Amino acid sequence: MAKAKLNQPITLAGVTVPPGERTIIDLEVAQLYTHSPLGTPIEVVNGKYAGPVLLVSAAIHGDELNGVEAVRQLLNQIKPERLKGVLIAVPVVNVFGFVHKSRYLPDRRDLNRCFPGSERGSIASRLAYQFLNQVVKHCTHIIDLHTGALHRSNLPQIRANLANPATDEMVRAFAAPIIIDAELRDGSLRAVAESLDIPTITYEGGEALRFDSLAIGAAVNGILGVMRELGMIRKTRRKGLINPVIARSTSWVRANENGIVRSQVQLGDSVTKGQILAYVSAPLGLNEGTIEAPKSGVVIGQLTLPLVNEGDAVFNLAYFEEEDEHVVEQVGHLIDEVNEGLGDEALRIGIPSRPYDEM
> Which residues lie near Zn ion (CB under 5 A)?
61, 64, 146
**β pairing state of 37-46 and 21-31:** antiparallel
We find the least distance from the C-beta atom of residue 149 to Zn ion, in angstroms, to be 8
Query: DSSP E strands: which ranges in the chain?
Result: 10-12, 15-17, 21-31, 37-46, 49-58, 84-90, 141-146, 152-160, 178-181, 200-206, 245-246, 249-254, 259-263, 270-271, 276-281, 289-292, 297-303, 307-308, 313-319
**Nearest CB to Zn ion, comparing residues 64 and 194:** 64
We find the least distance from the C-beta atom of residue 281 to Zn ion, in angstroms, to be 32
DSSP state of 45: E
We find the least distance from the C-beta atom of residue 145 to Zn ion, in angstroms, to be 8
**Nearest CB to Zn ion, comparing residues 25 and 135:** 135
**Nearest CB to Zn ion, comparing residues 84 and 146:** 146
Angstrom distance (rounded) from CA 84 to CA 260 = 53
Angstrom distance (rounded) from CA 18 to CA 81 = 11
**Nearest CB to Zn ion, comparing residues 63 and 269:** 63
We find the least distance from the C-beta atom of residue 148 to Zn ion, in angstroms, to be 8
**Nearest CB to Zn ion, comparing residues 49 and 131:** 131
Angstrom distance (rounded) from CA 278 to CA 274 = 11
We find the least distance from the C-beta atom of residue 188 to Zn ion, in angstroms, to be 10
DSSP-H helix ranges across the chain: 66-77, 95-99, 123-134, 165-174, 189-195, 213-229, 324-341, 344-348
Angstrom distance (rounded) from CA 117 to CA 45 = 27
Nearest residue to the partner Zn ion, using Cβ: 146
We find the least distance from the C-beta atom of residue 104 to Zn ion, in angstroms, to be 11
Angstrom distance (rounded) from CA 91 to CA 306 = 31
**Nearest CB to Zn ion, comparing residues 12 and 60:** 60
